[in-house]
Amino acid sequence: MLQNVALTRPIAAHSACPRTAFITRLAPQPKAAVACSSCCLKGVCLPCNLDNGDLTRFGEIAAAKRRVARGASLYHSGDRFESLYAVRSGAFKTVGVSREGTEKITGFHLPGELLGLEAINGGRHGYNAIALEDSEVCIIPFAQLEQMALTLPALQHQLLRLVSGDISRDHGLMLLLGSMSAEQRLAAFLLSLARRHQRLGYAGDRFLLRMTCEEIGNYLGLTLETVSRLLSRFQREGLIAVHQRDVEILGKDRLMERVGHW
């Protein structure tokens, strides 16, 4: 509807999401040696439905990679749209800024997911894309992607599916902010992260929180204190276990009940 634990001693939920100041810096941008055909994410990324020959063709247009250091921007709001970016490793947040300078997080993006879809219509990026940790993306020039999609129905279908998913996430965020209680918002967010990590081949009940509690609160329209308090409550009730930034879902069905009919 929206978007690994080994430590022995649980700590307070608010410590699981530290408030950290990031230094904005771009890392070097070499080409990676791993091709699409041998990438571990090929089953969930844009070319997931292509056969080996077409996958090799796609890999030729997506050969350029870019490393983005923690806290640095992949692109800024207002930048000219030229490429889509597939997250290869790490994670990103997209951030909108109002005229008054207020920042609003509009999404979190994990490996195998695309950044930049919102700019296809207007030709310019509408948000800042910022790395939550040291990350790497595959650069997919959109003009070349369009031409290839005209000859590859499977690629065209997948691209349309991803655009549709982006629209669905926007609608899901509006539903979260407009209709759900704070408890429902956080429960739905944790369940969404679990599903997205399971899609990547990881355990569906354990994942790393790559964002801070403050960032989660910004995204969900909640205060830092509310997120910390709810995480602590979920732990006391046996719904989750939090160890530093690792989260384990202990009561998936009960969390789904908290979300309700949404």
CATH of the domain at 96: 2.60.120.10
Q: To which residue do tokens 């090929």 refer?
A: 42
Three-state secondary structure readout of 47-108: CCCCCHHHHHHHHHHCCCEEEECCCCEEECCCCECCEEEEEEECCEEEEEECCCCCEEEEEE
Q: How far apart are CA 2 and CA 22, in angstroms?
A: 26
State which of 148, 168, 188 marks the end of a domain.
Answer: 168
Number of domains making up the chain: 2
- Average pLDDT score over the chain: 82
Q: Is 202 helix (H, G, I), strand (E, B) or coil?
A: coil
Among 133, 149, 168, where does a domain finish?
168
Residues 164 and 179 grouped into a single domain = no
88 and 114 belong to one structural domain: yes
Question: What integer pLDDT is reported at residue 38 of this predicted model?
Answer: 63
Q: What pTM, to 2 d.p., does this model score?
A: 0.80
13 DSSP 8-state letter: G
Instruction: Assess whether 153 and 191 both reside in one domain.
Output: no
Residue range 174-183, pLDDT digits in tens? 776 778 899 9
pLDDT in tens, 87-142: 999 999 999 998 898 999 999 999 988 999 989 989 999 999 999 999 999 999 99
Is 3 within a domain?
Answer: no
Containing structural domain, residue 222: 13-18+175-259
Higher pLDDT, 178 or 15: 178
